Structure 1
Amino acid sequence: MSADKTLFILVSFCIFVGIVFSLSLPVFTNLYFGYNEFHFFIRQFSVGMLSILIMWSLSQLNADKSLTIIAFGIFFICLFLMGIMHYLPESMVTSAGGAKRWIRLPGFSFAPVEFFKIGFVYFLAWSFARKLDEKKKSLKEEIKLIFPYVAVFILVVYLIAVMQNDLGQVIVLAVTLAVMLLFAGTSKRLFMLTVIGAIIVFIVAVFTSEHRILRIKIWWGTIQNMVLSILPDGIAKALRVENAPEPYQISYSLNAIKHGGLFGQGIGAGSFKLGFLSEVHTDFVLAGIAEEIGFFGVLVITAAIFLIVYRIFRISNRSENRVYYLFSLGMGLLIVFSFLMNAYGITSLTPIKGIAVPFISYGGSSILALSVGIGMVLMISKKAKL
């Protein structure tokens, strides 16, 4: 059987969209830093072509022979790299927000956490398929079964949220873990307990970091008037934050989306990318795209992302092997949660978390890692009864 060609084409389309806007959106950044006008385009084009080649190459392999070796290789290598990154000299790592997130190699840098997510999802799928089943168990028995995973996840939280100051990635992995547990056969009671535990960890992580508290205040400052207007005066007064920081980036993001209207200003004709949205080709890429190709253009991109997720879930649902079923499910969850977190962030529905738009945001590590994951799903699709 052949791999899922529709999934391959949809992912390739999204990668090409990212390549096009890597030429259009970072014009101010090129000028500000004195880069060549094709600086970001050349890099995104090179990574995009390599990613498509990797997807195709992996899709040709036999999942029964190659999948476990590739996935565990990625998992353990990236776990090791994430553990030692903090201790590497400055010449070997690139920092962001005071945290070391990228390892420098000749000619490029890469973020191990992006690849680790793929290996971690496979590790969960492989382990859940062996440890969990549909048999009815008491809550105590279920907690005992998942305790080792909680311990592993605490390590992941430390390596990513603490060492790399990247709570967004932890949130995506936490929600993915909770949903995979539910589909692996655990009860809804345990699912709710897992969600409550994740919320507690999130609250602790936020209130132990001044940077995260500031982000929450900026977000709340954007929406508090709308929310508090429907609450009783006493409650509204208690919840109101006076002198909240000005949410400049969110305001520019919303104005860029509004300026784009239904059909956009035209590719290359956006104005909010000219020094207003400072990360318009990365975190705010959807806002930049919305200004240039409008609501309907973003609707097409959104439809493509959700069709990708649908195809992955279809492969998952039709896989008889439980490891393949759970891994494909986890990959689909990673993509949809990442997309929604970014989309909700730029529209002020949730705080901004710095999560890339899958396949489209500028950044080699994210695109390459997801392409490896999609290549593995394409391997599995040859075994599924599509």
Structure 2
Amino acid sequence: MIDKPLLAGVMVLLTLSLVMSYSLSTYTVVHFHYSDFHFFIRQSMAVFIGFITMVLLSKMDPDRWFSRIGLLLFFVFFILMIVMQFLPSSLVNAVGGAKRWIRVGPMSIAPVEFFKVGFIFFLSWSFSRKLLDKTKMGFWEEVRAFTPYLFVFLVAVVLIAVFQKDLGQVVVLGVTLTILFLFIGSSWKFFLTLITAGLTAFIGLIFFAPHRMARIKSWWGTVQDNILSVLPFDAAQSLRIEAGKEPYQISNSLNAIHNGGFFGQGLGNGQFKLGYLSEVHTDFILAGITEELGFLGLTLVTLTMLFIVFRIFKIASKVKSPMYYLFSIGAGLLIALAFIVNTYGISGITPIKGIAVPFLSYGGSHIWASCIAIGMVLMISKKVPRDSRGRMR
């Protein structure tokens, strides 16, 4: 029996995604002279494909199909991320010089979304085969044992952060990898060394990319007064920069959230979607939801997302196979971290990273990839012991 509460939670968010893709795309539809249902139809196709894939995966025997599907995801989309850089512009959509989408007929696929799921499988599959049965290792033995995984991750960093200029996805993958290292029993010394090295590399990727430095300075200019107010005057002055024009996306996102109040302006009645927040149905969908459905609507979305992550982690805690356990933990982390990075970005707590909200943001690739991840977790959930009422034991 699959975990029906998990499936129900995902379907709630996918349904809301359809509603909001119609409501929030008003300005874009008018501006580009699309039909009223342009984005709704496209999102409906993505949700339908994702739902069918999720259901089909949930019905498969995990002992037979789980590893095959996971390895296929990892190798196919890892190769596609490499090959994509050499494909002509007629086959690849480039944004700001970064090639992120491959055209397949009338649709585009972002390989990185599927690679994330494959990468989590690869880690869980390899860790369960090579590392979980090892006794306590010394620091340098840990370094040797984990180096192959770090090498694969570094290749992914180059492909995603350098060629695709998408540091947000690297942050999500890097944090997930680090936490999984801790779950399989790495020492705190190695764990802290890895965090230090990761932060150093993260800062380096920012300093050597002018567009990222400009984004950091722009963000710091908007939050420095609140942060520096708690520091001594001399120290605060040394860290203060001349505040430029406030980023309009963050400013309008915060205004949209504030305008929503507790109960919202009503479905379809948002004002900031009318050209103030560009592409609000994608990365800023939570701001659009808050304006139209209010703090209450945002709270229900957040609780549903937490419920989904909770059910995934509960499945992980009950399943006996180390591979299934690690994959479920990784899938839950991918969803939770993407949600956190997006919410922090639209609220101005951190710079905007361009991470889609799982199951909500407009876009076929991330919807399909998220449904694949959930389908594989539902496949795993059939291995969880249950009582006569179907509840996990």
State if a TM-score over 0.5 links the two structures: yes
Distance in 1 between residues matched to 2:264 and 2:246, nearest whole Å: 27
Conservation of the 8 A alpha-carbon contact between 2:218 and 2:243:
no
- Percent same amino acid among aligned pairs? 51
Indicate whether 1:161 and 2:164 are aligned. Answer: no
Q: Deviations over 1:62-110 (max 9, x none)?
A: 0000011111111111011100111101000111221010000112111
Residue 222 of structure 1 is matched in structure 2 by: 222
Residue 321 of structure 1 is matched in structure 2 by: 321
Residue 200 of structure 2 is matched in structure 1 by: 200
- Secondary structure (helix, strand or coil) at the match of 1:289 reads helix
- Secondary structure (helix, strand or coil) at the match of 1:334 reads helix
Give the 5 Å matches for 1:368-383. Answer: 368-383=368-383
Q: Partner amino acid for 1:339?
A: F
Conservation of the 8 A alpha-carbon contact between 1:218 and 1:247:
yes
Q: Deviations over 1:242-273 (max 9, x none)?
A: 14342211111011000000000000000000
Q: Cα distance, 1:279 vs. partner?
A: 2.3
Q: Cα distance, 1:220 vs. partner?
A: 0.7
Q: Partner amino acid for 1:71?
A: G
Given the two structures, how large is their TM-score scaled by the length of structure 2?
0.96
Residue 181 of structure 1 is matched in structure 2 by: 181
Give the 5 Å matches for 1:2-17. Answer: 2-17=1-16
Given the two structures, how large is their TM-score scaled by the length of structure 1?
0.98
Distance in 2 between residues matched to 1:290 and 1:45, nearest whole Å: 22
Q: Partner amino acid for 1:237?
A: Q
Q: Partner amino acid for 2:244?
A: A
User: Please, what is the CA RMSD of the aligned residues?
Assistant: 0.9
Give the 5 Å matches for 1:251-266. Answer: 251-266=251-266
Residue 209 of structure 1 is matched in structure 2 by: 209
Conservation of the 8 A alpha-carbon contact between 1:24 and 1:267:
yes
Conservation of the 8 A alpha-carbon contact between 2:259 and 2:291:
yes
Conservation of the 8 A alpha-carbon contact between 2:25 and 2:273:
yes
Give the 5 Å matches for 1:132-143. Answer: 132-133=131-132, 135-143=135-143
Conservation of the 8 A alpha-carbon contact between 1:256 and 1:288:
yes
Q: Deviations over 1:200-220 (max 9, x none)?
A: 111010011111111111211
Residue 389 of structure 2 is matched in structure 1 by: none
- Mean Cα deviation higher: 112-121 or 139-148: 139-148
Residue 103 of structure 1 is matched in structure 2 by: 102
Residue 47 of structure 1 is matched in structure 2 by: 46
- Secondary structure (helix, strand or coil) at the match of 1:90 reads coil
Residue 338 of structure 2 is matched in structure 1 by: 338
- Secondary structure (helix, strand or coil) at the match of 2:9 reads helix
Distance in 2 between residues matched to 1:286 and 1:319, nearest whole Å: 33
Residue 279 of structure 2 is matched in structure 1 by: 279
Q: Partner amino acid for 1:159?
A: L
**Count of aligned positions:** 385
Q: Cα distance, 1:188 vs. partner?
A: 2.0
Q: Deviations over 1:5-25 (max 9, x none)?
A: 110111011111111000000
Distance in 2 between residues matched to 1:207 and 1:54, nearest whole Å: 41
Conservation of the 8 A alpha-carbon contact between 1:22 and 1:41:
yes
Q: Cα distance, 1:368 vs. partner?
A: 0.1
Q: Deviations over 1:100-139 (max 9, x none)?
A: 1000011211100000000000000011112223732221
Conservation of the 8 A alpha-carbon contact between 1:221 and 1:247:
no
Q: Partner amino acid for 1:69?
A: R
Conservation of the 8 A alpha-carbon contact between 2:281 and 2:361:
yes
Q: Deviations over 1:277-313 (max 9, x none)?
A: 0121111110010000000101000000010000000
Residue 87 of structure 2 is matched in structure 1 by: 88
Q: Partner amino acid for 2:81?
A: M
- Secondary structure (helix, strand or coil) at the match of 1:358 reads coil
Conservation of the 8 A alpha-carbon contact between 2:222 and 2:243:
no
Residue 171 of structure 1 is matched in structure 2 by: 171
- Structure 2 gaps of 5+ residues are 386-391
Conservation of the 8 A alpha-carbon contact between 2:315 and 2:381:
yes
- Secondary structure (helix, strand or coil) at the match of 1:91 reads coil
Post-superposition, which runs of at least 4 consecutive aligned residues in structure 1 deviate over 6 A? none
- Mean Cα deviation higher: 169-178 or 28-37: 28-37
Q: Cα distance, 1:198 vs. partner?
A: 1.2
- Secondary structure (helix, strand or coil) at the match of 1:270 reads coil
- Secondary structure (helix, strand or coil) at the match of 2:90 reads helix
- Mean Cα deviation higher: 182-191 or 352-361: 182-191
- Structure 1 gaps of 5+ residues are none
Residue 388 of structure 2 is matched in structure 1 by: none
Distance in 1 between residues matched to 2:129 and 2:73, nearest whole Å: 20
Q: Partner amino acid for 1:290?
A: T
Distance in 2 between residues matched to 1:269 and 1:336, nearest whole Å: 29
